[in-house]
Amino acid sequence: MKTDLYKEGMARLERGEVEEGRRLLEEAWREEPESVERMHGLARALDLAGERARALELLERAHARAPGAPGPACDLAMLLLEHEQEARAEQVLAPVLRAHPEHPRANLHMAMALAKTAPIRARAYAAKALQDSDPELRRQAESLHQALTAHGPR
């Protein structure tokens, strides 16, 4: 029986075995180079391995193929936000939120993208992220929401 390289690679990443996960995900991607799921998985492995430029390139490709897919878009937006490219992050997240208006990570990242230029809109996105069941995501959304409320226009 053939091993599912993608699933095994993702499992290795989850266990913290970045190099082996990356190797398996590279192989999985070579088998299906147009697969958004495999591009995204490999991009995550590359990011964890410190290869941010290559991760960014793959996330851009995955997003171009499936602009409404939340996973690649959220990861791409986060990398863009780290490089202070808020406007581009907003563009990346817009189709995801049109397709999935309640997606918690997309709402949190959109709130981050809008925090400096549109704090009132950012608060609305942060409030949606507060509805998620993930305690870490809720904590981040709460911190951002409080900062926007304390320092932004009302």
Summarised one tens digit per residue, pLDDT across range 101-132 is 999 999 999 999 999 999 999 999 999 999 99
Rounded to the nearest 5°, which phi and psi values hold at 120? -65, -45
Report the percentage of the chain scoring pLDDT > 70. Answer: 97
- Give the Cα separation of 145 and 124 in Å (integer): 9
pLDDT in the model for residue 150: 84
Rounded to the nearest 5°, which phi and psi values hold at 116? -80, -35
Position 149 confidence tier, pLDDT thresholds 50, 70, 90: confident
Over the stretch 39-76, which tens digit does the pLDDT of each residue have? 999 999 999 999 999 999 999 999 999 999 999 999 99
Supply the pTM of this predicted model: 0.91
CATH architecture of 1-66: Alpha Horseshoe (1.25)
